[in-house]
Structures are given as structure tokens and as C-alpha cells.
Amino acid sequence: MCEKRYELYENALPVLREMCLSYINTFPPHVVELVRRIPFDDLIGCRKYLGEYYSFWLGETLSIPDQEILLDAGLASFLGRSYVVIQDLLIDDYKNHDPNLIFSIGLFLASSIEEYLSIVPAPSKFLQSFHGLLSTFIEANIVDQRKHRHLLSPFDDTAILELGEKTCVANCTVVALSLFAEKEFAIEPISNVINRSIIGLQICEDIMDWEEDLIRENHTLPVTLSIQMFIKDCPQLADELLEAPATFVNDLRQQIYHPDTLEQLLHEANKHFSIAINDLSQFSSSPIDDHLRAAIKRNNNLLEVLRNMLVRADNVSRYSAEAKTIVDTTLKQNFGKP
């Protein structure tokens, strides 16, 4: 079922991509030159429902048949996503990106708002919601930097929920299309769905990227959880590990791919996917529901594969050496196009 939902919009995707590329080309030449250095698929969110399929799937959820409106919403979503992506690149990997990109993000954000306002029948309602979302987004990212940059935060419910708040500007598309469809009641439940979906997706992505993040001193949830579990087993190394976690990369690699760690992380992701499914239950048909159910199934299948790979030595369970490859490859496949 989920695959059919992708196929339904295959003809619209090239149109949306051309709209996005054409819009970028209207920016000043120096901005265009800087932005072109970033892979386009990173900006549009290739093959992820929160990317190029996002507006179409929201439109189907809200029973909006107008393809032109969904394309316009897709463009607005692309511009807003680009704002977030470029900001993240400059924060997380500033050494490999031109710092002048910082001057382009305001242009993306302003353009995104302009496109959203062309859709909604009630601009004041949209702007009120937008200001609230932007304030939450800014606060969450400031807190995230304070907690994760050079420091370690606990693996707890607060830190996990902040994952959704860090990218909550994605809900601008929910607000705009709900107002267009005259279904203002849908804003809160669908926004909750998107936040929970983002949390689950981000946990899975962080499992793949943990080592890269660690080198950049960006201590994501897989790292903080593995450190907590490692310290529990080796308390005598606690001070040294907390002082310089990157020097313990080999120990952390074994801990992250330990069954207890992976199961806790993937079960946490599935928990948020399940909450999102429950929030979607009031809508008769949504491709997002299919996508989330498929994500849970695939995570469970991955866990089953890993359990079958368990090697027992000295009564301590661990995954075999090929676990990392299987985990990274499978998660990458699971959250791209089926």
C-alpha cells in the first residue's frame, strides 16, 4: 500500500523539483552559487515523506484534490526545509561549508512565508501560528546546542521530545493546508503526528550518524545512551569518558551495537511512530499512516535479524562484527523510498 502512495505522485515530483530549482535561480547570483554546492536532494528531502512527498501526503490526508495548491505548498515546504538544512550544516559541519551561507537562510525563510501566504485564506491565522512555531524552533535549537555541543545530556523523555521541536517549522505546511481546507481542527493532531514522526526518524538517523556526530562533538541520543550504559558497566572510567568521549570511540562502537542499546533505541523510535499512528486515527485515510506502520514493521524486522546474529561469549551477549553494516544499510533503506 505504501509503495502505491509513492507511485501516485511520481508524475508530480519532476514538476515540483523544477519549481524549486527555478525559484532558487531567482536569488542573487552569489546566493545561487553557494546553495548549488549543497546536494539538491539534501534540501528537498529526496524520497522521504517529510521531503518531496510531504505536501502531497498532507493533501491526501486533508482531502485536498487541487494539485496546483499542493505543488505551491511543496515549494513553500522546500524553502522552509532549506532554511533548516542550511542552518544545521553551518552548526554541525561548519568547517566544510562556506560561512557566507548564513546570509542566505533569511532569504529562504522569507520566501517560504511568502509562498505559504499565497495559499492560505486567512493570513493572520497563519502568521500567528508561524510565529509560535518559529519561537519554539529557535528555543529548542538553542537548548540543543547548550546540551549537546561539548556536553552530555541524559537520555530521557525531555531530550527525546526536543527532537520534534528542533524541526517544528515543518508544521507550517500542516497549518497552511489545514487553513486552505477549512479544517483548522486538524492542525493540532497532524502537527503532533509530524513531531512524533520526526522524533522516530531522527533516532534512526542518529544511529547511522553517531560516529560522525561524535567527532563533531555533537552528542546525539545514541551516544548519550551508550555512554550511560558503558559507565554503568565501567564506573571507574566515568570521569575520563565524560571528559573526552571521542577518545573512547571503539568502546562506544561496541556499546552502541550491543543488543540492549539498539533495542532500546529502535523501540523508542517505534513508540513515537505508534503515537503518531494513534493521532492519525481520526482521519479516514492517510498515506502517512501506511508509511509509519511500514517503518515499525521494518524496525521490528531489523531487530529480529540482529537477535539472530547474537554471539554468546563468556555469557555476555553482543552482536557480530557485521551488525554495523546491516544496521546502517537497513535503516538507510527503511527511511528512503521503499
Could you read off the pLDDT of 136-191 as tens digits, one per residue? 999 888 887 776 655 566 677 887 888 888 888 999 999 999 999 999 999 999 99
Which pLDDT value is given to residue 173?
96
Phi, psi at residue 236, to the nearest 5°? -65, -15
The string of pLDDT tens digits covering residues 113-137 is 999 999 999 899 999 999 999 999 9
Per the structure block, which three cell numbers stand in for 298? 521494518
Domain CATH for 101? 1.10.600.10
Task: Give, as one character, the DSSP assignment of residue 57.
Answer: H
How many structural domains is the chain composed of? Answer: 1
At residue 317, the 3 state secondary structure works out as strand
Q: Which amino acid is at 224?
A: T
Least confident of 4-18, 107-121, 259-273: 4-18
The model's pTM is 0.86
Confidence of residue 59 (pLDDT cuts 50, 70, 90): very high
Which pLDDT value is given to residue 94?
66
Which pLDDT value is given to residue 151?
55
Helix H or strand E segment including 242: helix 238-243
pLDDT above 70 for 310: no
CB atoms within 10 A of CB 120: 19
With CA atoms as reference, report the closest residue to 95 among 178, 225, 195, 218: 218
> For all residues of the chain together, what is the average pLDDT?
84
Which pLDDT value is given to residue 300?
92
Category of 182 on φ-ψ map: left (φ > 0), alpha (ψ -120 to 50) or beta = left
Confidence of residue 210 (pLDDT cuts 50, 70, 90): confident
Which pLDDT value is given to residue 337?
45
With CA atoms as reference, report the closest residue to 150 among 228, 86, 236, 246: 246
At residue 61, the 3 state secondary structure works out as helix
pLDDT above 80 for 35: yes
Q: Which residues contact 168 (CB under 8 A, 6 or more apart)?
A: 133, 136, 137, 140, 191, 195
Phi, psi at residue 29, to the nearest 5°? -55, -40
Place of cell 535503516: 331
Q: Which amino acid is at 83?
A: Y
Q: Which domain holds residue 230?
A: 2-334
Confidence of residue 336 (pLDDT cuts 50, 70, 90): low
Long-range contacts of 95-98 (CB under 8 A, 24+ apart): 97/37, 97/38, 98/34, 98/37
Question: How far is the C-alpha of 31 from the C-alpha of 105, rounded, in Å?
Answer: 10
Between 98 and 223, where is the model more confident?
223
